[in-house]
Structure 1
């Protein structure tokens, strides 16, 4: 159980295919579900009523739905549980049940009754930047995230794809460890982002320049 003076350990979870339950069907639950779906989690929503967007996701088969009030049996096998109803009593029940089972539990209206909290996140493809105030001011975390979104634009997605591909090529073709490190450091000194922004980005030409062999 979290306390006011908790210090959180930053971590990125692989939820691909993991069973995750969101209790609640309102706007907050909708945002939580969207993030879980983006992480490729296997999501179940528990709520007698849901937003139109959640209803659309259900119709598309993106998640499963139990259109009833909360019952502990519905989340017994979940890896991660989020309590996001507008009822403090229900959210507390979800927390008590999940904590007793040793599950990852986030109660959106009470960080103190959570064993993890969700940071504000900027995503640009493979780049993830998380901002947290340890629950002290979620609104400030959102404000900082919005500033980061302006600084780290959509071009970073292509940039990270390029860097990842280059790293694999270097590992495959360059034998000396120091030379591999030199190449991967050199590319960060080039204005690749500028070329992406102005439309002159040429991946093959950069590979040739950095590796000395046309790809």
Structure 2
């Protein structure tokens, strides 16, 4: 299912490697992503200056995500990720805990975009290598079209 996320309030808690990948993917489909992290790297600073993301340079607090419609928990702290999951469950917010596929309402597919075509490939969070291989095969096919 593809959902129009353009006007949704999307939050990413964390700013590490996985968080950056998720943020890059989301920015293709969301008007603005809010990132919550005490420190961010130069790439995210550039994205903020370009207006692609908003950064709250602070430690996460439960109330930070109360108005969210979709949340990515991408910290390296199990307790924080667990709290994010709990808050989202209580408030009916869709959540993806990057470190625990059982705590994900949705998965990030491998994305291929070409002109006005978007293809998403997933293995339901189970076989990332296979999903990546299929994504690359589809990318090659679309480049030939």
User: Which of 59, 72, 86 does residue 76 from structure 2 map onto?
Assistant: 86
Equivalent of 1:16 in 6, 12, 19: 6
| Greater RCO, 1 or 2 (C-alpha within 8 Å, sep 6+) | 2
Tell me the alpha carbon deviations over residues 156-190 of structure 1, each in whole angstroms, 9 at most, x when there is no partner: 5xxxxxxxxxxxxxxxxxxxxxxxxxxxxxxxxxx
Structure 1 residue ranges without an equivalent (≥5): 1-10, 157-215
Q: Note if contact 1:83-1:108 (Cα within 8 Å) is conserved in structure 2.
A: yes
Q: TM-score, normalised by structure 2?
A: 0.92
Q: Does residue 126 of structure 2 align to residue 136 of structure 1?
A: yes
Rg bigger for which structure?
A: 1
**Does structure 2 retain, via aligned residues, the 8 Å contact 1:122–1:128?**
yes
User: RMSD over aligned Cα, in angstroms?
Assistant: 1.4
Partner SS, residue 129 of structure 1: strand
Q: Hey, which of these two has a bigger chunk of helix by percent?
A: 1
In the aligned structure 2, how far is the partner of 1:24 from the partner of 1:52?
A: 14
Verify: 1:27 aligned to 2:24, yes or no.
no
- Report the Cα offset of residue 117 of structure 1: 1.2
- The structure 2 residue matched to 1:69, chosen from 38, 59, 73, is 59
Deviation at 1:60, TM superposition (A): 2.7
Matches within 5 A, 1:96-135: 96-135=86-125
Distance apart, 1:31 and its partner CA: 1.4
Partner of 2:39: 49
Which ranges in structure 2 are unaligned for 5 or more consecutive residues? none
Bigger strand share: 2
Q: TM-score, normalised by structure 1?
A: 0.64
Which whole-Å CA distance do the structure 2 matches of 1:135 and 1:106 have between them?
11
